[in-house]
Amino acid sequence: MTTPLPWSTDKILIAPSVLSADFTNLERDITAVERAGADLIHIDVMDGHFVPNITIGQPVVRAIRRVSACPLDVHLMIEDADRYVDDFVDAGADMLSVHVEVTPHLQRTIAHIKSLGVRAGAVLNPSTSVSSLLEIASDLDFVLIMSVNPGFSGQVFIRQSLDKVRRVRDVLTQAGSSALIEIDGGIDTTNARAAVDAGATILVAGKAIFGAPDAESAIQAIRATTNATAQQ
């Protein structure tokens, strides 16, 4: 594992998504959110097949690893994840998540990711049933719930995702799992608190942070809403 992970169900983790960052000033943007207290750096890898967009590959992850002190949370939105797991771990991923919709042997894939010394997660698209986790829940380090349809940043948060977070929490609890729940898509100060109240412990935010005039103030504002939740 490249970087120690702040892994606790008692701490809300904020993961700025570099999909919304300025790629001509990527080191600057990452440094800014780290200075503001980001817990993770979220990296979306898209292949243009599973999702209708193409983003970045291992070379960019490796470059981010060189300039970032934060753990790297790499989300594989690709059809053939098994083929690239080792490459992304070698590039510096500390967390690696794969989609249940395109991973035919999910238990084997999760076991392989964990064998490489990184945290392993399963991802659910908005229309994917929580029941797909029933046979794998006890093997997971985290579950990533998409609160938008994956592919592009800046989409509107799907409110039904909050109920999905609650149902995933129930599945994990029944399985005796301490896996964390991550939520990604449209997260900002208007819904971060609701996501945490529903059971999410990792909040991925892209446009709300990197699209703000001041990324540092934006991440601090999201943190303030989650702190208010914890105090109640």
Helices 26-35 and 58-67, packing angle to 10 deg: 50
Q: Which two tokens stand for residue 219?
A: 């991440």
- Conformation bin of residue 162: beta by default, left when phi > 0, alpha when psi is -120 to 50: alpha
Q: Which residues contact 162 (CB under 8 A, 6 or more apart)?
A: 191, 194, 195, 198
Q: Which residues contact 175 (CB under 8 A, 6 or more apart)?
A: 134, 137, 138
| Burial bucket for residue 179 (CB in 10 Å: 0-12, 13-18, 19+) | buried
Q: Which two tokens stand for residue 177?
A: 């799992």
Out of 44, 47, 73, 94, which one is annotated catalytic? 44
CA gap 184, 112 in Å, rounded = 24
184 part of the active site = yes
Q: Which residues contact 173 (CB under 8 A, 6 or more apart)?
A: none
Out of 39, 94, 141, 184, which one is annotated catalytic? 184
The answer to whether the CB of 184 falls within 8 A of the CB of 146 is yes
87 part of the active site = no
Catalytic residues: 44, 184
